[in-house]
A and B are shown apart, each in its own frame.
Chain A
């Protein structure tokens, strides 16, 4: 073993809290996601699924019984669902996963403020969404029924997806900060997602059903996309359906902002 060199002492003594600690954390987390198998394999599986759907919709006349607008809607809705779910799970793994792998303590021992650590991890967790949306764009282009539909479908999908991804990735991060077990964090986050997703598969009619659909950010977002693509409404016509996703995103981000400041080695708020 060589002895410690004094020559580098001055070089290292510049240690201070980094101005953009969140960026350093985010870049490392992005590397972990996209330079490992996790990100690429999700994108590959997703593009495989869309390829299959598009191929069937475009070529198989017997199976192609649904309207082209419905097919575009289906592609966007699938992209939304997978994008939100993956971001949620990545968010839910951020802190509790590090706790289980015993790498969190080293991170907490750095001068990077807790909120910046949380922000960096959140940004990495949502990174999968724009990538999936980008992958979906050529498929929407292939399936489009008219010139206006492509732009509306992409914009509606991107807006709703961004809001829901921000909300659910934040939820995942919050649960992850509070949970000691990664399994619990993933299960709890996914359970909330499924509970909110379930009404999209149920016909919500009448005054009560309509209000539930508007309050639930997932159903409201899904309805917005559906009406823009299938019913051919303009984006502005259905803006009220974006209220729930916006509120959900704002609340989840605000709570994540508060909870991240109380990020501790053990789960829970403060000890």
Chain B
């Protein structure tokens, strides 16, 4: 399935997407930014937990906030959700400046990383209470609670005490709580942490629905890169409080793009492939893998990659096709988001 990435202007393969996502992405690209973050820094004494963070988010976008432990993801979310005030910089949400936290809170929904729940309350009571805190009268709060319980798949457990809920059910209840005020921006801090695969799938579907059907912007902090690839339209990678990369998933992959391709050809075509790759544009070196015939790696020149957009795939494939070498497999080494993430953050160097 194809999706249009507004920031790159290119159509990219989006395996988790569908036509609705594409339409939403186009709508999103045309819309005004709902969240504008401008050089926000948050310090705790001498420690800068978030440093000079700037980005914009549009309606319907799902932005993945990635980073290793201690990168500043939770602090960034707490600043943007007005729990902490920025030390420097500013941000606006729906045009409301960060100096009006009460007004911003009316526009956002948050699932905190360590969300606790009053275990003696029922799910319905919990949602009713929060709907009341957002200014809804009692009757409306009841209707909202009932409707949200249906939406997050907890309708049958709404009258059970939260103490009896599983981790996944509590997380879904937390998402429901974040939706009681119909927020324009939703911050989800590690929403799938501790969930089993089925729970993770349910949560991701819910997140996609929130962005797709409500047109809400979702800022998703997570450790799980697969999730980001699946649901996020854009990614911001934080490391030691600093945004070290921002762009679409495809952009990020390209930015840490591999300099090496791994090619599998029939053993009898090994020499032809070796020769073709050696002469291919931008290739600095070609090696046989473990002297095994049919397996080759081609390493590209960095300067050439920078000049040509960092995509070596076309040049290498073209060289092989030109000499009629059958390509059994062709793989970019390090072409996954996890590779990009590791190479961009310090974890990759440990």
Partner-B contacts on A (CB < 8 A): 1-6, 8-9, 11-19, 21, 24-25, 28, 32, 36, 101-103, 105-113, 265, 271
Contacts and interface: CB of A to CB of B under 8 A. Distances in A.
Nearest to A15: B181
Contacts of A113: 102
A103 B11 CA distance: 43
Interface of A is mostly: loop
Contacts of A2: 150-151, 153
A110 B133 contact: yes
Contact of B83 (A11, A15, A16, A108): A108
Contact of A265 (B84, B117, B179, B182): B84
A143 to B, nearest CB: 38
Given A28-B129, A113-B102, A1 B152 contact: yes
A11 B177 contact: no
Interface of B: 44, 78, 81-84, 102-103, 105-106, 108, 110, 112, 114-118, 120, 129-130, 132-136, 140, 143-144, 147, 150-153, 177, 179-183, 202, 205-206, 209-210, 213-214
Nearest to B205: A1
Most-contacted residue by chain B among A2, A14, A28, A110 (CB, 10 A): A110
A18 B118 contact: no
A108 B106 CA distance: 12
Contact of A12 (B44, B118, B129, B182): B182
B131 to A, nearest CB: 8
B153 A1 contact: yes
A109 B108 contact: yes
A8 B147 contact: yes
B135 A25 contact: no
Contacts of A13: 182
Top 8 nearest A-B pairs (CB, nearest first) are A102-B116, A15-B181, A12-B182, A110-B133, A18-B135, A16-B135, A1-B153, A103-B116
A12 B106 CA distance: 11
A6 B134 contact: no
B47 to A, nearest CB: 12
A25 B182 contact: no
